[in-house]
Structure 1
Amino acid sequence: MDVLAFVIGVLVMVIGLGVSIALHEVGHLVPAKRFGVRVGQYMIGMGPTLWSRKRGETEYGFKAFPVGGYISMAGMYPRTQPAPSEPALAGAAARAERRRGLYATLVQDAQAANAETLEGVDDSRTFHRLPVWKRVIIMLGGPIMNLVLAVVMFAVLFSGIGMQQATTTVATVAECVLPAGSTATECSAGDPEAPAHAAGVLPGDRLVSLAGEPVETFAEASEVIRARPGAAIPLVVERDGDEVSLTLTPIENQVEVTGADGAASVEQVGYAGVSASVERVRQPIWTGPQAAFENVGAVVRIVADLPARLYDTAYDLFTGGERDADGPMSVVGVGRLAGEVAATDAPILDRVGVMVSLLASLNIALFVFNLVPLLPLDGGHIVIALWDGLRRALARLTGRPEPAPTDATRLVPLTLVVVVLLVGMGALLFAADIFNPVQLLGG
């Protein structure tokens, strides 16, 4: 393995992840500032601050561990009444802990931290005072940014780089038909001549028509051949700029096929003995967005089935079983795959294509996962905003006073449980990606 190429691949993925996270937070930052919310911090990463600079009222910076990011908005939760001083907060927290235990202490601590973000801030510039639609836009901004990035990357992959496809140009022509299960690499005297070789097909020929019908793809040509075992098929190829008419008679070949019900059966199909040249073909511009939304559906299914998939990952980790290639991975696993791709002996465009695909899929995962309706994820804040909107609408319909904003600090204990589960999931996937990685490129 080319170690330097491996390291470059990992670095590209780390930088790509960092950019994705940074733009995710920009997706929150821009509408928050546009709607007048006071944003105290814009940080990439977690842990100790490595570098920061204050511009206006916002501190921008990087933290030690590139595993996330955040913006700090004033009044993510409503102001508690009255807003207590620090000694009062400390006393209240102590009394709460004695009287009601851990739950009350967690809530009180969250309210105290929220009160700090509100100090000296005009109430009209707080997040919770915004109309519901503005709160939803701010919280959707991050995931939508990841979705847009994925669409752009898939568009670059499919319409810019292009996808490898079998063309109608013949790459190789077999001289003979080897017996089924044979490991021979050369023809012997008793082997029958391959139909395409007998017909006079040459490497470099471009298939123009079969059975009188023009063919645009190699797949179309293969279907005609497979459907006519033993039949003489008129074949027209383009050779050195001229059209040449030939006759191809496919032989019968047994293949195993799997039906829609999953049952396997053996069919007699035609065989000619030709293979197609493979070229990168640029796809229509809508192919990228289509691929992105197909990936969204696939990731949604993974998230919906996450407990079972995590169990399988843990089981494979401790038993040494082969990991599901479509299962969840941590950034360690994605980085390792990127390094292996960069170090493979393949054309540079092929390696770039795989890297772009990995980054696009990573952004799809960020989009879907952040919309899970649990705090502290963006989806949890969206649900709270929509709940507030529903309560206000019901109050207007029934003629009651507008209710106070939902005090989400009371959900902090549940949020802590979610955080613990996320940390546990991350630790499991980290361990699995180190000690029992997904094998996509071979052993």
Structure 2
Amino acid sequence: MNWLFVAGIAVFFLGLMASIALHELGHLVPAKIFGVRVPQYMVGFGATAWSIRRGETEYGIKWIPLGGYIRMIGMLPPRPGDAPGKLRGTSTGPFQGLIETAREASMEEVRPGDEDRVFYRKKWWQKVIIMSGGPAMNFVLSFILFSILLVGIGAPTLAPIVSPKTNTCVIPASEKRTDCRPTDQQTPAAKAGLKPGDRIVSFDGQKIANWGDATRLIRKHAAGPVALGIVRDGRPMTLSVTLITQDMPSPTDPNKIEKNVGFLGVRPSEVMEKQSLGMVVGYMGELTGRVAGSLLNLPEKMVGVWHAAFSGRERDPEGPVGVVGAGRLGGEIFSSDQLTTQEKFYDLLNLLAGFNLAIGMFNLIPLLPLDGGHIAGGLWEGLKRGFARITRRPEPAYVDIAKVLPLTYTLALVMIVMAGLLVYADLFNPLKLAG
């Protein structure tokens, strides 16, 4: 196996472990600020690889890098009538037995004097902040990584610079070829003497700031001569170009053909153009909308993953990818012969940034055992207490999320099955960089 492929996987998983560590730190810090006792902070699952105790908390790393957790005491409230840390006998019934077992596990580390340090007794808004801290850290990390990419390095942008891949002949849009034939006529650009690297700065006296401006002005112009302003090797020049008309694919829909539009015959160059922080916010907003749409369609997407895993269908590039698949993409990026070192760095950061955004969004789903389920419980408790104050009623009891534990266990089982399916698909029919 290519050592660069292995190195790419390793770098991705180190970035993933850092993301998990920061996610759990987002829970840990507010929990400690609000006085919740946290016996354990762990990155990973399974057997402990390394740990150290600082104060009342054990910090450590486990061998399976597929998540992490902090363990807070008293996540579930006792049954009405039970004193904190003292539970009555377990009730009968399979579901009730699960609930009471979970309550006992939640309370087993509560020591004398910890009554006010249990999670369930904290104010509703403190619970919301503690449970929102993890996804918030993922969003912050995603924003930082996208800022490094878009503001520090730039975004791939089509610029009005003549590409070396520009054809010197006119190829009809109906013909699916790229090579010139001896019978093909020269393009207006070739006849006028345009060269790769020439930057187009004006067209018929109108300034051109980007490739979109150039496309719009050229296609709108009829056949005939026009003044074309360019910069070649730092020197401004004006060329006289005689446009022709040609049927061309639409810039917004390649399957749609625009009839008899102005034709110059140049291809743009892709350059890295630095963006503003506002652009980062807009880009993340657009990407968040796409991720939210994917989460809403997750059951349908998982059906596609099933077919890809067991019937050999092509993987959907917009479909879900697991940690194993993302790691393989990291390996492909590192070992690619088609990418420069800067492009490899860019693509790997982009992969980590997108993965963090997806992790943050997924954890906000308002279902247990995800963070969003605890957030929803805290918000519901806040609404109940606010309503009680307004109507001058007695303060209601803490929201008992233990009552939905049967549903939680069912969803946890579904998530395990989905994770296993993704691992299988990522191993035997993985997504590729080329799509």
Evaluate the alpha carbon distance shift between residue 65 and residue 306 of structure 1 in structure 2; reply closer, same or farther with a 3 A threshold. same
Evaluate the alpha carbon distance shift between residue 257 and residue 182 of structure 1 in structure 2; reply closer, same or farther with a 3 A threshold. closer
Identity within the alignment, %: 40
Evaluate the alpha carbon distance shift between residue 176 and residue 308 of structure 1 in structure 2; reply closer, same or farther with a 3 A threshold. closer
**Equivalent residue runs for 1:198-213 within 5 Å:** 198-213=191-206
1:294 — aligned with what? 286
Local SS of the residue matching 1:358: helix
Give, as a single letter, the amino acid of the residue that structure 1 aligns with 2:311: T
**Equivalent residue runs for 1:278-293 within 5 Å:** 278-293=270-285
1:82 — aligned with what? 82
Measured after TM superposition, the shift of residue 186 of structure 1 is: 4.7
Do the aligned partners of 1:155 and 1:287 also contact (CA within 8 Å) in 2?
Answer: no
Cα deviations across residues 146-197 of structure 1 (Å, max 9, x unaligned)? 0000011111111111122233332345433245527573552x33222112
Write the distance in 2 (CA, Å) between the matches of 1:182 and 1:397: 71
Measured after TM superposition, the shift of residue 4 of structure 1 is: 1.4
Write the distance in 1 (CA, Å) between the matches of 2:212 and 2:284: 25
2:108 — aligned with what? 116
Write the distance in 2 (CA, Å) between the matches of 1:263 and 1:278: 22
1:370 — aligned with what? 363
Do the aligned partners of 2:247 and 2:257 also contact (CA within 8 Å) in 1?
Answer: no
Evaluate the alpha carbon distance shift between residue 259 and residue 67 of structure 1 in structure 2; reply closer, same or farther with a 3 A threshold. closer
**Equivalent residue runs for 1:10-409 within 5 Å:** 10-80=9-79, 81-82=81-82, 92-93=89-90, 96=91, 99-100=92-93, 102-172=94-164, 174-178=167-171, 181=175, 183=177, 185-188=179-182, 190-257=183-250, 264-345=256-337, 346-409=339-402
Do the aligned partners of 1:163 and 1:281 also contact (CA within 8 Å) in 2?
Answer: yes
Do the aligned partners of 2:309 and 2:425 also contact (CA within 8 Å) in 1?
Answer: yes
Measured after TM superposition, the shift of residue 325 of structure 1 is: 0.3
Give, as a single letter, the amino acid of the residue that structure 2 aligns with 1:129: R
Write the distance in 2 (CA, Å) between the matches of 1:383 and 1:182: 55
Query: Structure 1 unaligned runs (5+)?
Result: none
Do the aligned partners of 2:249 and 2:255 also contact (CA within 8 Å) in 1?
Answer: no
2:415 — aligned with what? 422
Measured after TM superposition, the shift of residue 106 of structure 1 is: 0.4
Which deviates the most, 149-158 or 280-289? 280-289
Do the aligned partners of 2:322 and 2:422 also contact (CA within 8 Å) in 1?
Answer: yes
Local SS of the residue matching 2:108: helix
Aligned-residue Cα RMSD (Å) equals 2.3
Give, as a single letter, the amino acid of the residue that structure 1 aligns with 2:82: P
Give, as a single letter, the amino acid of the residue that structure 1 aligns with 2:197: G
Give, as a single letter, the amino acid of the residue that structure 1 aligns with 2:138: N
Cα deviations across residues 190-223 of structure 1 (Å, max 9, x unaligned)? 3322211212223332222111101112332222
Cα deviations across residues 234-276 of structure 1 (Å, max 9, x unaligned)? 112223444322211222221244988x984542222222233
Which deviates the most, 311-320 or 343-352? 311-320
Do the aligned partners of 1:258 and 1:265 also contact (CA within 8 Å) in 2?
Answer: no
Give, as a single letter, the amino acid of the residue that structure 1 aligns with 2:312: G
Write the distance in 1 (CA, Å) between the matches of 2:220 and 2:249: 15
Write the distance in 2 (CA, Å) between the matches of 1:184 and 1:219: 23
Evaluate the alpha carbon distance shift between residue 255 and residue 184 of structure 1 in structure 2; reply closer, same or farther with a 3 A threshold. closer
Give, as a single letter, the amino acid of the residue that structure 1 aligns with 2:237: V
Give, as a single letter, the amino acid of the residue that structure 1 aligns with 2:414: L
Do the aligned partners of 2:85 and 2:108 also contact (CA within 8 Å) in 1?
Answer: no
Evaluate the alpha carbon distance shift between residue 191 and residue 38 of structure 1 in structure 2; reply closer, same or farther with a 3 A threshold. same
Query: Structure 2 unaligned runs (5+)?
Result: none
Cα deviations across residues 274-293 of structure 1 (Å, max 9, x unaligned)? 23333222111222222222
Write the distance in 1 (CA, Å) between the matches of 2:66 and 2:113: 30
Write the distance in 2 (CA, Å) between the matches of 1:333 and 1:434: 7
Give, as a single letter, the amino acid of the residue that structure 1 aligns with 2:48: T
Do the aligned partners of 1:154 and 1:357 also contact (CA within 8 Å) in 2?
Answer: yes
Write the distance in 2 (CA, Å) between the matches of 1:431 and 1:79: 41
Measured after TM superposition, the shift of residue 121 of structure 1 is: 4.2
Cα deviations across residues 346-386 of structure 1 (Å, max 9, x unaligned)? 11111111111110111111111111111111111111111
Evaluate the alpha carbon distance shift between residue 147 and residue 413 of structure 1 in structure 2; reply closer, same or farther with a 3 A threshold. same
Local SS of the residue matching 1:216: coil
Write the distance in 1 (CA, Å) between the matches of 2:287 and 2:178: 41
Write the distance in 2 (CA, Å) between the matches of 1:310 and 1:169: 42
Local SS of the residue matching 2:162: strand
Local SS of the residue matching 1:409: helix
Do the aligned partners of 1:43 and 1:71 also contact (CA within 8 Å) in 2?
Answer: yes
Measured after TM superposition, the shift of residue 316 of structure 1 is: 2.6
Do the aligned partners of 2:85 and 2:107 also contact (CA within 8 Å) in 1?
Answer: no
Give, as a single letter, the amino acid of the residue that structure 1 aligns with 2:74: G
Local SS of the residue matching 2:268: strand
Evaluate the alpha carbon distance shift between residue 204 and residue 366 of structure 1 in structure 2; reply closer, same or farther with a 3 A threshold. closer
